[in-house]
């Protein structure tokens, strides 16, 4: 029943300064050995073709003398030596090519993992959640997932840049050698190669812009794919026959994201590449004619042909690598932008020197709040007191601002104006970690953690995950113990059907598990209990059981409960009615009923609908 180490590790903050470094430095920090291997193999891959060409030329040059001198002779031994050198160079080239690829892939994977882990740590670091609800930052942050797939991965940049340098050297070196045979031919080859590379680079820049410019469409396409393939949406997709709609949306979003147009640049790149190949073919024809006319030595001819082949190989390598590097560079730039944007979008101070004392109650004084990127105040001048050890219920229509109030209490956002004080101390002056340890919460959309049942509860106070008795007590309090014990592997059952022997729970059972998690937190020091619609998914019997235990569950805790179920609400010591971001009524159930105001109307409405349901049931 112990929570696995995998699940208890605290997010790492290593590599904090990585994003300020160039990718070369990141590679060096990631693995010196692999970085050196990538650099050296790139260097040798560039030099060996030239060495092979020169040695081959020398070999051809000396061959006639060796044949006439016969074996054994010094001339024949030199030929053997040259042959051995060619063999060694070919071996070095092969080893460097294969080794460079393997080292490049290994280094790339490690760099990508490091960058993604850094981004995860950076995204989790802000105390608030504004950056997770801001479309611009969300778009940048998605780079950490989408951009690290296939050929967009930045990790391959260091080895690909090695390939680019090697390709550029091969093109230049090859063309320079061609130039020694014919200056116009060499220049023509160099210029057409440069043009091809320039056009290739323009295409890749545009492709990168188009790719990331269309990330909203990409996300939509991905969303359609997820809906079609994940169990959560499976029921509704079938009942409402949405398969055709999803396929059409996927098609449209995918097409919008990727685009179909062939740009002018790709035509120009094709023309320039054809010209380059034509120059090279012309050069070979020119060489053959001069060699057959006896104007040029055959050995030299071989060296020139090889130089042409090396230049062509270099140009092809550049052409293939440039788009990849360009896209990966764009990913890396977006990664850096995401690293910079995440903390700025959610600046909430973590450190504070105030003493934490929720024992005296929590007071909201004239609190107003507006979400970033919004033009409307969601809370307006809220004054509210949560007495220590008592339970306060907040009621109001959908969208009134109840959940927002809880988010402010958790310091997931800070009030735009006004303050929240715990026993007279502004919670903004408290050490955030210490304040959060005071809180236990069951949110409406509580997380269905894809871990085992024990861990699902232990996450309430993960440092005490080995408190088996505490986990059991929390499960009993929340009424979920029997459910857990009936699972295939009991407390060790993974709560996901994605695993063999895994199990899923019903909505109500998940909600009880979330309540158990909060109870576990309270047994380890949390004093403020936040319940946001804790009975929303419960059946009538579970709901009744929750109310029966409500006093026991909340005993000694400063509790704030948001609920539409008036049977829960009436058990609270104080009821606060919120309408359109303002407190409009407060008092006990009896007081508010006597006032005959908004609360009384809502309560009567709900009571009548229950009465109707009972009458209907009796008549049936």
Q: How many other CB atoms are found less than 10 A from the CB of residue 368?
A: 16
Task: Please say whether the dihedral angle defined by the alpha carbons of residues 146, 148, 153 and 158, taken in this order, is positive or negative.
Answer: positive
Which DSSP string corresponds to 108-167? HHHHHHHHHHHHHHHHH-SSSSGGGS-HHHHHHHTHHHHTTSGGG-GGGHHHHHHHHHHH
**Shortest distance in whole angstroms from residue 376 CB to ligand ADP:** 8
Nearer to ligand ADP, 571 or 582 (CB): 582
Out of 346, 400, 561, 569, name the contact with ligand ADP by CB under 6 A. Answer: 400
Binders of ligand ADP in range 98-137 (CB under 6 A): 133
The single residue among 163, 173, 352, 396 that binds ligand ADP, judged by CB under 6 A, is 396
Number of neighbours of residue 396 by Cβ within 10 angstroms: 24
Of 391-399, 424-432, 469-477, 509-517, the window that binds ligand ADP (rule: CB under 6 A) is 391-399
Site for ligand ADP in 47-76 (CB under 6 A): none
Provide the 8-state DSSP code for 313: H
With vertex at residue 423, the alpha carbon angle to CA 420 and CA 425, rounded to the nearest 5 degrees, is 55
Q: How far is it, in rounded angstroms, from Cα 84 to Cα 74? A: 15
Mutual angle of helices 231-239 and 243-258, in 10-degree steps: 120
Q: Choose one: 139-147, 164-172, 370-378, 538-546; the region binding ligand ADP (CB under 6 A).
A: 370-378
The reply to whether 377 sits near ligand ADP by the rule CB under 6 A is no
Identity of the residue, 290 or 564, whose beta carbon is nearer to ligand ADP in the bound complex: 564
- Residue 352 binds ligand ADP, judged by CB under 6 A: no
- Out of 401, 460, 508, 534, name the contact with ligand ADP by CB under 6 A: 401
Angle at 526 between CA 575 and CA 511, to 5 degrees: 65
Give the span between the Cα atoms of 430 and 140, in whole angstroms. 31
- How many chain residues are in contact with ligand ADP, going by CB under 6 A? 12
- For residue 520, give every residue at least 6 positions away whose Cβ sits within 8 Å of its Cβ, in sequence order, or none: 457, 458, 460, 461, 464, 467, 470, 471, 474
Minimal distance, residue 445 CB to ligand ADP, in Å: 10
**Measured between alpha carbons, how far is 325 from 160 in angstroms, rounded to an integer?**
7
Q: Which of 263, 403, 429, 567 lies at the binding interface for ligand ADP (CB under 6 A)?
A: 403
Choices 247-255, 277-285, 397-405, 542-550; region in contact with ligand ADP by CB under 6 A? 397-405
Specify the residue, 8 or 403, whose C-beta has the smaller distance to ligand ADP.
403
Would you state the structure tokens that stand for residue 155, as one six-digit string?
A: 């990790």
- In this structure, what are the phi and psi dihedrals at residue 361, rounded to the nearest 5 degrees? 95, 165
The piece of 154-162, 185-193, 270-278, 394-402 that touches ligand ADP (CB under 6 A) is 394-402
Token duo for residue 296? 């040029």
Token code pair at residue 8? 């208890």
Nearest distance from C-beta of residue 220 to ligand ADP, angstroms:
20
Q: Which of 93, 404, 472, 493 binds ligand ADP (CB under 6 A)?
A: 404
- CA-nearest of 512, 567, 566 to 537 is 512
Q: Which is nearer to ligand ADP, 410 or 453 (CB)?
A: 410
- Binds ligand ADP by CB under 6 A, chosen from 371, 428, 464, 570: 371
* CA dist list (Å): 268 to 174, 199, 204, 274: 23, 7, 13, 10
Smallest gap from residue 133 Cβ to ligand ADP (A): 4
Among 9, 68, 150, 398, binds ligand ADP (CB under 6 A): 398
The DSSP-derived string for 318-360 is: HHHHHHHHHHHHHHHHHHHHHHHHHHHHT-------BPP-GGG
Please, which residue, 549 or 598, has the CB nearer to ligand ADP?
598
Backbone angles phi, psi at 346, to 5 degrees: -140, 55
Instruction: For residue 575, list its beta bridge partners.
Output: 393, 587
Q: Return the number of the residue (49 or 401) whose C-beta is nearest ligand ADP.
A: 401
Q: In the complex, what is the shortest distance from the CB of residue 560 to ligand ADP, in angstroms, rounded to a whole number?
A: 12
Q: x-or-dash pattern for ligand ADP, window 132-161, by CB under 6 A?
A: -x----------------------------
Shortest distance, position 401 Cβ to ligand ADP, whole Å: 5
Taking the complex as a whole, the smallest distance from the CB of residue 404 to ligand ADP amounts, in Å, to: 3
Q: Is 15 in the site for ligand ADP (CB under 6 A)?
A: no
Q: Which residue, 109 or 133, has its beta carbon nearer to ligand ADP?
A: 133
Sign of CA dihedral 504, 508, 511, 517: negative
Q: Which stretch binds ligand ADP (CB under 6 A): 48-56, 255-263, 398-406, 593-601?
A: 398-406
C-beta of 207 vs 386, nearer to ligand ADP: 386
Q: Is 416 in the site for ligand ADP (CB under 6 A)?
A: no
Pairing of strands 528-532, 377-386: unpaired
**380 lies in the site for ligand ADP, by CB under 6 A:** no
CB of 411 to ligand ADP, least distance (A): 15
- The answer to whether 565 contacts ligand ADP (rule: CB under 6 A) is no
**Nearest distance from residue 365's CB to ligand ADP, in Å?**
19
Taking Cα atoms as reference points, which of 554, 597, 180 lies closest to residue 396?
A: 597
Point out which residues bind ligand ADP (CB under 6 A). 133, 371, 374, 378, 396, 398-404
């Amino acid at each position: 029943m112990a929570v696995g180490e995998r699940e208890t590790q605290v997010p790492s903050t290593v590599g904090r300064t990585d994003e300020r470094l160039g990718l070369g430095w990141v590679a060096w920090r990631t693995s010196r050995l692999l970085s050196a291997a990538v650099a050296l193999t790139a260097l040798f891959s560039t030099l060996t073709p030239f060495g092979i060409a020169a040695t081959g030329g020398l070999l051809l040059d000396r061959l006639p003398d060796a044949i006439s001198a016969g074996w054994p002779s010094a001339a024949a031994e030199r030929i053997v030596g040259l042959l051995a050198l060619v063999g060694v160079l070919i071996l070095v080239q092969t080893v460097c090519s294969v080794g460079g690829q393997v080292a490049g892939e290994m280094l790339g994977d490690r760099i990508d993992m490091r960058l993604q882990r850094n981004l995860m740590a950076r995204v989790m670091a802000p105390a608030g959640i504004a950056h997770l609800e801001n479309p611009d930052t969300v778009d940048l942050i998605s780079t950490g997932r989408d951009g690290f797939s296939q050929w967009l991965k930045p990790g391959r940049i260091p080895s690909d840049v090695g390939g680019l340098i090697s390709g550029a050297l091969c093109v230049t070196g090859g063309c320079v050698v061609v130039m020694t045979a014919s200056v116009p031919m060499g220049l023509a080859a160099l210029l057409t190669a440069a043009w091809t590379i320039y056009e290739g680079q323009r295409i890749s820049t545009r492709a990168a812009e188009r790719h990331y410019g269309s990330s909203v469409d990409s996300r939509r396409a991905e969303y359609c794919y997820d809906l079609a393939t994940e169990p959560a949406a499976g029921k509704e997709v079938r009942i409402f026959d949405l398969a055709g709609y999803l396929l059409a949306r996927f098609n449209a979003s995918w097409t919008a994201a990727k685009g179909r147009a062939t740009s002018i640049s790709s035509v120009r790149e094709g023309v320039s590449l054809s010209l380059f190949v034509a120059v090279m073919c012309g050069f070979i024809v020119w060489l053959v004619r001069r060699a057959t006319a006896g104007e040029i030595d055959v050995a030299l001819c071989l060296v020139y042909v090889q130089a042409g082949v090396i230049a062509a190989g270099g140009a092809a390598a550049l052409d293939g690598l440039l788009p990849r590097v360009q896209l990966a560079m764009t990913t890396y730039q977006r990664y850096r932008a995401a690293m910079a944007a995440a903390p700025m979008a959610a600046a909430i101070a973590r450190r504070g020197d105030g003493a934490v004392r929720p024992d005296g109650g929590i007071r909201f004084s004239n609190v107003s709040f507006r979400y970033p990127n919004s033009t409307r105040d969601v809370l307006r001048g809220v004054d509210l007191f949560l007495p220590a050890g008592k339970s306060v219920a907040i009621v109001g229509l959908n969208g009134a601002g109840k959940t927002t109030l809880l988010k402010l209490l958790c310091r997931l956002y800070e009030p735009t104006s006004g303050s929240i004080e715990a026993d007279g101390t502004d919670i903004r002056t408290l050490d955030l970690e210490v304040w959060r340890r005071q809180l236990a919460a069951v949110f409406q959309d509580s997380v269905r953690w894809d871990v085992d049942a024990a861990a699902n509860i232990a996450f309430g106070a993960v440092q005490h995950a080995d408190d088996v008795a505490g986990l059991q007590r929390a499960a009993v309090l929340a009424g979920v113990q029997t459910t857990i014990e009936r699972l295939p592997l009991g407390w060790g059952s993974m709560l996901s059907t994605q695993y063999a022997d895994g199990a899923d729970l019903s909505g109500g059972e998940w909600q009880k598990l979330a309540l158990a998690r909060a109870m576990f937190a309270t047994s380890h020091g949390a004093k403020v209990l936040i319940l946001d619609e804790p009975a929303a998914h419960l059946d009538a019997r579970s709901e009744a059981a929750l109310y029966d235990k409500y006093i026991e569950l909340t005993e000694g805790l400063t509790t704030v409960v948001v609920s539409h179920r008036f049977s829960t609400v009436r058990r609270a010591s104080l009821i606060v009615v919120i309408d359109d971001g303002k407190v409009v009524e407060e008092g006990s159930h009896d007081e508010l009923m006597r006032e005959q105001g908004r609360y009384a109307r809502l309560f009567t409405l709900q009571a009548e609908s229950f009465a109707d349901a009972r009458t209907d049931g009796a008549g049936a």
